[in-house]
Amino acid sequence: MTLVVASNEARIIRIFHIDRSKDALQTMMAPLTDETLASRSNPRPRTDAARSLLGSDVVDGTACELFPVDNLEGIGLSAYLTQGHGVAETEVASNAELLDGLKGYVLIVFSNAFRGRETTISPAEGVTLIGTYQQLGTDWAATPQTPVESARPFSTPPEAVKKKPSDAAMSGRVATLALLVLFGLVGLMVWIGR
């Protein structure tokens, strides 16, 4: 079986069931030691487990999860996808029984594992695609705004011309200023006369 992943794919999760022995998978996932590297004829880091299972050197193993389904005891794989990875319950509902009934290991591959490139993957023997699911995303679509009259250009009323203060207001301001000056002079005289 060969699968083609489109370039710039986003928010897609693929679930693969791995039909391999526990020992084989644990060996594949074990970290390398200095002794293991020294014993190799070509001492380079081990090909990522996800790369070898999916048959592609392009796959970024940090964007994959490989684990025994038993780790999800009490929650189930379907709930793990909906609650942990934002897949719509309606999308998982048709396969929920299959997902929750899986035994052994599963490989969850996220879109960013392909680094935005078109990729062809050829899963190894014993690696079966169970399903492809869309993660929910934020809806950035805006609703059209109803035009408001006050937002239209030149729709505000013209500014009112400021009226000159009345004679009474001017007289009050002059009287207040005169009282303040007199208060200052009286205070100065009292201070000097001491």
Say if pTM beats, i.e. exceeds, 0.85: no
Is residue 132 classed as helix, strand or coil in its secondary structure? strand
Q: Is residue 173 part of a domain?
A: no
Q: How does residue 52 score in pLDDT terms, banded at 50, 70 and 90?
A: confident
pLDDT per residue as tens digits for the range 165-191:
888 989 999 999 999 999 999 999 998
Q: Is the pLDDT of residue 44 over 60?
A: no
pLDDT at 102: 94
Residue that the structure tokens 């705004």 belong to: 145
Is 194 within a domain?
A: no
Query: Which residue type, as a one-letter code, is found at position 115?
Result: R
Dihedral, CA atoms, 29, 103, 78, 120, nearest 10 degrees? 50
Residue 162 falls within a domain, yes or no?
A: no
Q: In a 10 Å sphere around its CB, with 0-12 CB exposed, 13-18 middle and 19+ buried, how is residue 105 labelled?
A: buried
Number of Cα atoms under 13 Å in the Cβ half of residue 174: 7
Tell me the C-alpha distance between 100 and 143, whole Å: 39
Residues 117-137 have pLDDT tens digits of 999 999 999 999 999 999 988
Structural domain harbouring 53: 3-134
8 vs 138, residue with greater confidence: 8
Report yes or no on 160 lying in a domain: no
Any domain includes 9:
yes
Counting the structural domains of the chain, the total is 1
Residues of the chain with pLDDT > 90, as a percent, come to: 46
- What is the distance between the alpha carbons of residues 6 and 44, in angstroms, rounded to a whole number? 30
In a domain, 62, yes or no: yes
Q: Is 53 exposed, middle or buried (0-12, 13-18, 19+ CB in 10 A)?
A: buried
Give the model's pLDDT for residue 34. Answer: 53
Torsion angle (degrees, nearest 10) of CA 42, 48, 54, 56? -60
106 in a structural domain = yes
**CA nearest neighbour of 15 among 62, 55, 65:** 65
